[in-house]
Amino acid sequence: MKYPNLLNRFLTYVKVNTRSDETSTTTPSTQSQVDFATNILIPEMKRVGLENVYYLPSGYAIGTLPANDPSFTRKIGLISHMDTADFNAEGVNPQIIENYDGEVIPLGQSGFNLDPADFASLKKYKGQTLITTDGTTLLGSDDKSGIAEIMTAIEYLSSHPEIKHGEIRVGFGPDEEIGVGADKFDAIDFDVDFAYTVDGGPLGELQFETFSAASAEITFQGRNVHPGTAKGQMINALQLAIDFHNQLPNGDRPELTDGYEGFYHLMNVEGTVEEAKASYIIRDFDTVTFEKRKEFMRSITNKMNEKHGERVHLKLKDQYYNMRQVIEKDMTPINIAKAVMNKLGIKPIIEPIRGGTDGSKISFMGIPTPNIFAGGENMHGRFEYVSLQTMERAVDTIIGIVSYKDE
């Protein structure tokens, strides 16, 4: 096996609960991420050959592999996140399915199965080694696959000095899943020409477009009186929330959109006759349309307030922007990744991310940061799995990128 430590490294990582917590006010949001970085990642970063390894208050573990050939003038960054998504991450007990036969995979004794009839992606992996959950937790391939792949690539480069490369900076960060991990990323300290998040899905993914994103928090103030005498007097805050929602385009919902189509997504609604609250996320790839979506929410708010008085209060907050706005100015990191994948016999899959990555924010901090595949499938739940062979190909791709030299 070319990378003998890859599988065990990945299994070690996923067994540690590093779930983030969006209700937390600390950075990182959970102590388990701090412990994972300081007790597991930083010692291993040193063991695999990284130098000047340190931990920042932002939650990032940083290290450098110095250039071994001065003719490589580019400095390249590699970034993955430590936290896992909002699903049970305690007691992760991975299953290893060698030489997968293409049939149903029972997930431990949980009663759940990975069934090709439900998950067509399984059909691509016949004959490969799959790592799955036992049905009671997520796996954590998002993004501990990326961390394991970066560590393995650095380890290989350190033990094979005949592979020439420039300076490589590595950053493992917190809280990507709750959208705040990169807020405190220190781009000046990281100091690279461009970077890659190793945080994508299946083999060949190469992504430099994300949604632009905003959140909308709406409070509806009602007026409660006895329902028997309510006519002309009661204003039901829950009904205001319903009326607001019904004015949004019916087809602009996540479950009805794909590709480059944006949406409004109602995340939560709660309340009483007296007061109700609704939370939305707004997503679109096009900057003009993104702004129009926010303006449409403002117009609904204004129209309802004209009718009912100042009873609807809208708070909009931009979260991140489409990183294409930055990366398309210089496609060098994309062109390098494409050339490397093609040389390795991997077909680049260049599609927009219907979501965001840490690269969405880091790109706007001055470091263009597209996203490459890490291998995970069905991420964020009990049906998550990853192919060991795809992870190995991700390591190949990382090594190819950092050792790439213009012809």
175 is in an annotated binding site: no
81 is in an annotated binding site: yes
Provide the sign of the torsion angle of the four alpha carbons 17, 23, 27, 31, taken in this order. Answer: negative
407 burial type by CB count under 10 A (0-12 exposed, 13-18 middle, 19+ buried): exposed
Q: Which residues pair with 113 in a beta bridge?
A: 106
CA distances from 302 to 38, 122, 306 (A): 50, 49, 6
Q: Which of 21, 83, 205, 252 is catalytic?
A: 83
308 is in an annotated binding site: no
Q: Give the pair of three-digit tokens for residue 273.
A: 């006759």
User: Exposed e or buried b for every residue in 30-69, given b needs 16+ CB within 10 A?
Assistant: bebbbebbeebbbebbeebbbeebebbebbbbbbbbebbe
CB 174 within 8 A of CB 33: yes
142 is in an annotated binding site: yes
Cα angle 345, 351, 356; round to 5: 120
Distance between CA atoms of residues 159 and 157, nearest Å: 5
Which residues 6+ apart lie within 8 Å of 210 measured at CB?
A: 285, 320, 322, 323, 324, 352, 353, 355, 356, 357, 359, 360
199 is in an annotated binding site: yes
CB 51 within 8 A of CB 154: no
Distance between CA atoms of residues 152 and 48, nearest Å: 8
Q: Which of 143, 149, 175, 176 is catalytic?
A: 176
Helix (H), strand (E) at residue 376: strand 376-377
CB 217 within 8 A of CB 205: no
- Nearest residue to 376 via CA among 161, 179, 174, 148: 148
83 an active-site residue? yes
Which residues 6+ apart lie within 8 Å of 47 measured at CB?
A: none
Residue list, annotated binding site: 81, 142, 177, 199, 380
Active site residues: 83, 176
Known binding positions for Zn(2+): 81, 142, 177, 199, 380
